[in-house]
Amino acid sequence: MDIRSIVMGLAFALMWSSAFTSARIIVAEAPPMMSLSLRFLLSGGIGVVLALFMGQTWKLSRAQWKGVIVFGICQNALYLGLNFIAMQTIEASLASIIASTMPLLVALAGWLIFQDKLRPMGYAGLVAGIFGVALIMGSRFQGNVDLFGLLLCGVGALSLAIATLSMRGASSGGNFMMIVGLQMLVGSIVLVGPAVALETWDVVWNVRLVTAFLYTTLVPGLAATLVWFYLVDRIGAVRASTYHFLNPFFGVAVAAWILSESLGSLDIIGVVIIAAGILAVQLSKAR
């Protein structure tokens, strides 16, 4: 693996993980679903325009439209929507740890449902990941963690895993950025109804909120997507996915740095175990 690929992988993991911290800032000052719907509208619009400039088209196949709708609902509306709501009461570090278990959930479901075969390293990684999550949850339950927020994060990670499994083998057909942009627009449309019905547009405008919103829209929303696309094109999906093992590290590190969230020794040990489990699972898939 060359230096450029390593830099791209590190950049993707950092941008993806930092989204939880910026989301935590946003939901402290603005309604979560309205904020996320607006974020998707902007990110999706920019993504579609970029795709057109890249020569891509929105004349998609039936399978591609399926991917747009499934991921627009499961990844954007459910996964991110539930996380935004949860982070009103759940710390960004904990939300990022739960979300980072998605590769483990995909591997576990693939083994149980589709009879995917794993190497011994893969099975060991699943066991380690589950143990790491249990260790962190056990330490947090001793505090004042909000169980409903925790449940929302778990359902969100599960919905993303289901979406990933439902699109196994699907191809973007060269329209990757267009599909991503349309997925975001689908997420915006799905969220706007519940947002209008359940939320009040009560916003505390300040520099911190505007900065976090712009960062979330442009960096995790678009830049991370572009970097991931080029990384997969350069080294392949399986090898690129190994960088997910860095997400727990970066997620808690950014939250501790920006938001001053505290981390206990069991949290740190659990993060290390989860990261090792994700890495083992991903490496077991490599040929």
Mean pLDDT of 64-92: 89
Residue 168, pLDDT above cutoff 70: no
Residue of 166 and 252 predicted with greater confidence = 252
Query: Residue ranges per domain, the chain?
Result: 3-285
Instruction: Give me the pLDDT at residue 238, please.
Output: 64
The string of pLDDT tens digits covering residues 220-248 is: 888 887 787 778 777 766 677 778 788 88
Residue 170, pLDDT above cutoff 90: no
Q: What share of the chain is helix, strand, coil (3-state, %, to 5)?
A: 80, 0, 20
Mean pLDDT, the chain, integer? 85
Give every CB contact of residue 201 below 8 A, 6+ residues apart in sequence: 31, 34
Confidence of residue 193 (pLDDT cuts 50, 70, 90): very high
Give every CB contact of residue 193 below 8 A, 6+ residues apart in sequence: none
268: Cα within 13 Å, side-chain hemisphere: 7
Among 153, 138, 21, 27, residue whose Cα is nearest residue 99: 153
Residue 52, pLDDT above cutoff 70: yes
Give residue 190's identity as a one-letter amino acid code: V
Share of the chain above pLDDT 90, in %: 31
Instruction: Give me the pLDDT at residue 190, please.
Output: 95
Helix (H, G, I), strand (E, B) or coil at 96: helix
Give every CB contact of residue 46 below 8 A, 6+ residues apart in sequence: 181, 217, 218, 222
Share of the chain above pLDDT 70, in %: 93
Give every CB contact of residue 26 below 8 A, 6+ residues apart in sequence: 32, 35, 84, 209, 212, 213, 216
How would you class 259 by CB atoms within 10 Å of its CB: exposed for 0-12, middle for 13-18, buried for 19 or more? Answer: middle
Residue 28, pLDDT above cutoff 60: yes
Residue of 162 and 39 predicted with greater confidence = 39
- And the tokens for 265? 């020794």
- And the tokens for 10? 């590190």
Residue 31, pLDDT above cutoff 70: yes
Confidence of residue 1 (pLDDT cuts 50, 70, 90): low
Locus of tokens 């402290």:
28
Residue 97, pLDDT above cutoff 70: yes
